[in-house]
Amino acid sequence: GNSVTQMEGPVTLSEEAFLTINCTYTATGYPSLFWYVQYPGEGLQLLLKATKADDKGSNKGFEATYRKETTSFHLEKGSVQVSDSAVYFCAPSLRTASKLTFGTGTRLQVTL
């Protein structure tokens, strides 16, 4: 089955700082990889995805590259904003799988 390891939070950064949230996974087959974001009191929203090796997903200034050789999908953003404060979940999923496997989530807190 699939499993995910995310860096433990909380991660506290000042506005405009560089962000990296590490994610490594184990999976049978060749999964698609996702990052979801959960803002306070809300459900999850798809942030970005990558479906094959070396693909780069990007959205709202966030990026993550599918690294098959290191089984990683680290999330990065060059300059975070206060509005980016949320919990970020990494999740692999096989194309025909019925469910996503979520990491424990990493809480990001951005301060002025």
Partner 1 sequence: GAVVSQHPSWVICKSGTSVKIECRSLDFQATTMFWYRQFPKQSLMLMATSNEGSKATYEQGVEKDKFLINHASLTLSTLTVTSAHPEDSSFYICSARKGVNTNVLTFGAGSRLTVL
> What residues make contact with partner 1 under the rule CB under 8 A?
32, 34, 36, 41-46, 49, 89, 93-100, 102-105, 107
Nearest-Å Rg of the Cα atoms of the chain is 13
What whole-number distance in Å separates Cα of residue 40 and Cα of residue 53?
32
CB of 24 to partner 1, least distance (A): 15
* SS3 state of residue 62: strand
CB of 5 to partner 1, least distance (A): 12
Q: 46 or 82, CB closer to partner 1?
A: 46
Is the CB of residue 103 less than 8 Å from the CB of residue 6? Answer: yes
Is the CB of residue 80 less than 8 Å from the CB of residue 17? Answer: yes
Q: 103 or 108, CB closer to partner 1?
A: 103
CB of 92 to partner 1, least distance (A): 9
Q: 29 or 78, CB closer to partner 1?
A: 29
CB of 78 to partner 1, least distance (A): 26
Enumerate the β-bridge partners of residue 19.
77
